[in-house]
Structure 1
Amino acid sequence: MTPFGEALRELRKHKGVTQQQMAAALGVSSAYLSALEHGRRGRPSFDFLQRVAGYFHIIWDEAEALFRLAEQSDPRVVIDTGGLPPAYTAFANLLARRIGSLEPSVIQEMTMLLENAANKG
């Protein structure tokens, strides 16, 4: 499941509607909605995100947060290390091979480390 998929499912459950009901209201198939919720589809289109925001009557900051989640939710990530030192490519490949076996606490630590490094640079 992706961050966006989790948020979408929570919004839908909070509103008390089924995937079929929501899909019909948004003009998509329930299979597409299910795939989004389970992280089997890539990032949704801006048009779809606007329809979701309208369906749930989400405005301003909440809509922006939902759109940010969608940006972070492509389950098939590509990391281009072309032109970087060999250690960067080795790190990216190691992460790709091992990400599924990392403990949540390790993911949190790595996330904090990367965010702190981005804030310094």
Structure 2
Amino acid sequence: MLTQFGIYCRKLRLDNGELLKHMATKLGVSSSYLSAVEIGKRNVPHDWLEKITSLYQLSAEEVESLKLSIKNSQPSIKIDLRNTNNQEKDLVIAFAREFKDLNEDDKAKILNILRRNSNGEVKY
């Protein structure tokens, strides 16, 4: 099943009359690798935002849409815990283990807590 990034790329290819193999060549990867990224078996490489923006001369609005599609398509994330204390590590690990079992209300509460800065203002 295509991720949001995969849907974005498919539309981009259709709009430009390209096949998957053409886009893959432009990105310097194999067709199978691009396909794996589009269906979420692989993360979107960090440099693809810039590459796709440049290759297809995307507008500011299109870049924002691409950014959102990349963000919403990542099957996994890495969290750097090198400069964290044990309590912070415990928090991250506990959340990673339990987040799928949280109900929607609890998820919303946690998200609201995390989006607030020390002044009580919403970050985004």
The alignment's TM-score, normalised by the length of structure 2, stands at 0.60
Q: CA RMSD in A?
A: 3.6
Q: Deviations over 1:13-55 (max 9, x none)?
A: 3434221122223332111210110111123132x32221233
9-18 or 80-89, which deviates more: 80-89
Aligned match of 2:56: 56
Provide the aligned length of Structure 1 versus Structure 2.
112
Aligned match of 1:13: 14
In the TM superposition, what are the counterparts of 1:65-76 in structure 2 within 5 Å?
A: 65-76=65-76
Q: CA deviation at 1:61?
A: 3.5
The structure richer in helix per residue is: 1
Identity %: 32
Q: Matches of 2:92 and 2:50 in 1, distance apart?
A: 37
Equivalent position SS for 1:83: helix
1:119–1:32 distance in 2 versus 1, CA, 3 Å: same
Match of 2:112 among 109, 113, 116: 116
Q: Which runs of 5+ in 2 are unaligned?
A: 118-124
Q: Which has the higher contact order (CA 8 A, sep 6+)?
A: 1
Q: Which runs of 5+ in 1 are unaligned?
A: none
